[in-house]
Structure 1
Amino acid sequence: LNLDALWQELLVSGTVGAAALSALAGGVLNGLCGRRPCILLASGLFTAGAGVLAAARDKETLLVGRVVVGLGIGVASMTVPVYIAEVAPPHLRGRLVTINTLFITGGQFFASVVDGLFSYLAKDGWRYMLGLSAVPAVIQFLGFLFLPESPRWLIQKGQTQRARRILSQMRGNQAIDEEYDSIKNNIEEEEKEVGAAGPVICRMLTYPPTRRALIVGCGLQMFQQLSGINTVMYYSATILQMSGVEDDRLAIWLAALTAFINFIFTLVGVWLVERMGRRKLTLGSLTGTAVALIILASGFLLSAQVSPRITLNPPDPSHQNSTCTKYSYCNGCMLDPDCGLCYKLNKSSVIESSCIPVDKDSTMKAAWGR
């Protein structure tokens, strides 16, 4: 579809932005509709978004599909961990919530492999890459048709008999009185606190222990995002191409390798968390992220310092973008989404180069030649 840098960024950030908004709404939907309907809704959004993406004929439709998928991501992110925590046996609860993260990174790796396989279809390969995401969404939708609602949510809504029946079925008809009473007592305590002290967020901010926990938890998430590591993951193939990987397919497979390493170290994290503790593992992970980003930034800095000089500056007869002829080095030219570098090589050295506007109808072609 000849996407320039601006549209690539819109397609990536559109999904993330939609996920952020739907995650905010996900908490309300969870309380009103229940966990199961929300997961079914997310699966439906994933399927619809994949269909729109696969059938897209223009970049605007592609953006709509990405936004729809983002809405599904937000709802699922808010609902799935809650559902797992509420239906899992108490002794497996923490482990199953952690495994959810493991399967997310595993899914990212599998998706990268699928991308690599379809990268050999030059014309419509991207449609298969995006459209096939409907398959796991449909499987999840069909699977959840046979799964029960969260017993905790049912008790909150006063459906105690149904909650007891579902809890008994999930525990294999074992004695569930103790677990049922524990859930009910916790809910009653929460309702008393809400009625006496106002909104939950106000109580959390005014009670020092929960305020400190909230600051630490939200702070970790905030600084993880601000570090930019997700940007590196999203644009890993593009970064590899910027580093000199000319083959698009090779860049995609190397991005799959990045996703595989992410998956492997998630496994390592699951194994280490009970042996090293949360704090040491978090500090080690943040240190590794910082070192990786410093190396990446150093690479970009060195690349900019040895950027080939532009040797030819012919006048722009079309006057489409006069700024392109003002760049003196390759680095500045390539950072402008409206410009491209035409060059002549002598072995591995650039001996002649010009910065000229790109064709608006095809970003792979120049707007004019010489």
Structure 2
Amino acid sequence: MSLHLESGGSSSSNSKQLYKAGHDKTTAYVVLVCLTAASGGLLFGYDLGISGGVSTMDDFLLKFFPKVYRKKNDAKTDNYCKFDSQLLTLFTSSLYFAGLIASFVASRVTRDYGRRVSILTGGICFLLGSILDGVAQNLWMLLLGRIILGVGLGFTNQAVPLYLSEMAPSRLRGRLTTMFQVAIGLGGTSAFLVNYGTVNIIPWGWRLSLSLAFVPALIITIAFAFLPDLPSSLIQRGHLDDGLMVLKRLRGTPDVQEEFNYLLQATELSKSIQSPWKSILQRQYRPQLIMAFAIPFFQQVTGINIITFYMPILFQTLGFGTNASLYSTIILGVISIGVTAIGALCIDKFGRRKVFFWGGSTMLLFLVLTGALLQWKLKSHNELSTSFGIVGILLILGFVVAFAWSWGPLAWLIPSEIFPLEIRCRSTPVIPVSSAWLFLFTWRSPPSS
């Protein structure tokens, strides 16, 4: 089949308008593909939720971090130093540093081989890493599994949001892309439930918690063995017949020539860019470039990943037992999922800027109040009363909820859509930056004395 650009007397502007009109059409197949792709967030959410809970389990600490176990049960140890261990920090952060490096490699793979291959690679790495962590016999075996998981995380977090933002119709892009954040919440809540169920399985409950990451990994791997790659990616790599066929299926009509022409034009334009990374440094792209760095940067320095990681530990510090702290994280996770779903509706209705501002302001308020409570009542060796402990949980809940409905989904969505298609096709510059900041700020352990 011969595919070519049809002039038809229409200008590039008209072609772009027709492309947008066609791209706004929603079919059941598009929604199904987007929801299936969003399930990639289960991988990230599960790992975020599982690590903090496992780190509170006595059997896990006795096997790999006996010094932490002794400090945890020593009443004389400073509240802020009970879990202070560079090896424990290495357990949590090794995954994210591996993800940091892998996200840049994944950028090249995504560009040259397509989004689908990147996501499949990530799923396979998660399968291997979860198995290795589940059967780990020593610390280095455990860390190797974490590193492999990090590689998988780097690939999936780099490609899934990009896949969603390019696949979803523009008028539903906010809602469908936010499903990635919903899936992260589902994965985290599932991890909290698993930890709550395995904490009393002595002495191997932690193995079950870590190895069950295999389940979401298997889901995403099988799903993307059947899902199509993006038309823009197929056209970019020269698979024009496949690109046209997928485009027709996504739009539910054979009349897609105008949109196909636009994708061809964008691809040709992207190939004419000799230095894509130099191009995005040009003045015309400066606002987009600043946003691509600033939004994921400030998303992470809010401390959301640290709070999510150490939430069970934090609740124990507030005076709750192991079971009570895990139970509290389940409640918080369920609420976050519901709020994220509400946020999905708000993003397209009210716009990105308003939701960002409302969410950020609320996060600031609750974070300041949480810090004030800990400084006022907890300090180094005090214990919070039950009433103040509940207040602390409610304040943390307010912070996480504000993040879940605003900053969480928008930090994935905005960097994915601010660059023109021709720039994204050539360099895929945005998501690796987001992924890099996502992993960079998890290195620090809880404050040391």
Q: Judge same fold: TM > 0.5, yes or no.
A: yes
Whether the aligned pair in 2 keeps the contact of 1:86 and 1:151 (CA below 8 Å) is no
Selected match of 1:75 from 155, 164, 167: 155
Whether the aligned pair in 1 keeps the contact of 2:174 and 2:348 (CA below 8 Å) is no
Matched, 1:189 2:269: yes
| Residue aligned with 2:218, SS | helix
Selected match of 1:307 from 381, 384, 398: 381
Selected match of 2:140 from 49, 60, 63: 60
Matched, 1:154 2:230: no
Q: Encode CA deviations 1:11-38: one digit per residue, 9 max, x unaligned.
A: 2111121111111111111122222221
Match of 1:293 in 2: 367
Matches of 1:171 and 1:270, distance apart in 2: 23
Matched, 1:177 2:257: yes
> Which amino acid letter does the alignment assign opposite residue 318 of structure 2?
S
Whether the aligned pair in 2 keeps the contact of 1:45 and 1:72 (CA below 8 Å) is yes
Matches of 1:217 and 1:115, distance apart in 2: 35
Match of 2:316 in 1: 241
Match of 1:141 in 2: 221
| Residue aligned with 1:121, SS | coil
Match of 1:105 in 2: 185
> Which amino acid letter does the alignment assign opposite residue 258 of structure 2?
E
Matched, 1:200 2:276: yes
Count of residues in correspondence between the two structures: 307
CA 63–270 in structure 1, closer or farther in 2 if over 3 Å, else same: same
Selected match of 2:208 from 128, 131, 140: 128
Matched, 1:33 2:113: yes
Selected match of 1:218 from 256, 271, 293: 293
Using the TM superposition, give the Cα deviation of residue 238 of structure 1 relative to its aligned residue in structure 2, in angstroms: 0.4
> Which amino acid letter does the alignment assign opposite residue 168 of structure 1?
K
107-116 vs 299-308, which moves further:
299-308
* Identity level (%): 26
Q: Encode CA deviations 1:264-295: one digit per residue, 9 max, x unaligned.
A: 22122112223332222111211222222222
| Residue aligned with 2:254, SS | coil
Q: Encode CA deviations 1:209-242: one digit per residue, 9 max, x unaligned.
A: x211221342121112112122111100000111
Matches of 1:283 and 1:171, distance apart in 2: 35
Q: Encode CA deviations 1:121-180: one digit per residue, 9 max, x unaligned.
A: 132111111111101211221222222222212211222122222322333453221221
| Residue aligned with 1:145, SS | helix
Match of 2:74 in 1: none
Selected match of 2:307 from 210, 232, 242: 232
> Which amino acid letter does the alignment assign opposite residue 264 of structure 1?
G
Whether the aligned pair in 2 keeps the contact of 1:14 and 1:67 (CA below 8 Å) is yes
Whether the aligned pair in 1 keeps the contact of 2:175 and 2:345 (CA below 8 Å) is no
Matches of 1:164 and 1:23, distance apart in 2: 29
Using the TM superposition, give the Cα deviation of residue 254 of structure 1 relative to its aligned residue in structure 2, in angstroms: 1.1
CA 64–306 in structure 1, closer or farther in 2 if over 3 Å, else same: closer
> Which amino acid letter does the alignment assign opposite residue 225 of structure 1?
Q
Rg larger for: 1
Higher strand share: 1
Matches of 1:28 and 1:11, distance apart in 2: 28
> Which amino acid letter does the alignment assign opposite residue 137 of structure 1?
A
RMSD: 2.3
Matches of 2:254 and 2:188, distance apart in 1: 38
Matches of 1:221 and 1:238, distance apart in 2: 25
CA 306–98 in structure 1, closer or farther in 2 if over 3 Å, else same: closer
> Which amino acid letter does the alignment assign opposite residue 207 of structure 2?
R
Whether the aligned pair in 2 keeps the contact of 1:54 and 1:131 (CA below 8 Å) is yes
Match of 2:11 in 1: none
Matches of 1:22 and 1:88, distance apart in 2: 26
Matches of 1:83 and 1:276, distance apart in 2: 24
Unpaired runs of at least 5, structure 2: 1-59, 69-82, 384-445
> Which amino acid letter does the alignment assign opposite residue 202 of structure 1?
K
> Which amino acid letter does the alignment assign opposite residue 216 of structure 1?
M
Whether the aligned pair in 2 keeps the contact of 1:19 and 1:73 (CA below 8 Å) is yes
Whether the aligned pair in 1 keeps the contact of 2:182 and 2:340 (CA below 8 Å) is yes
> Which amino acid letter does the alignment assign opposite residue 374 of structure 2?
F
Normalising by structure 1, what TM-score? 0.76
Match of 1:259 in 2: 333
Whether the aligned pair in 1 keeps the contact of 2:174 and 2:344 (CA below 8 Å) is no
Equivalent runs, 1:84-103 vs 2, <5 Å = 84-89=164-169, 91-103=171-183
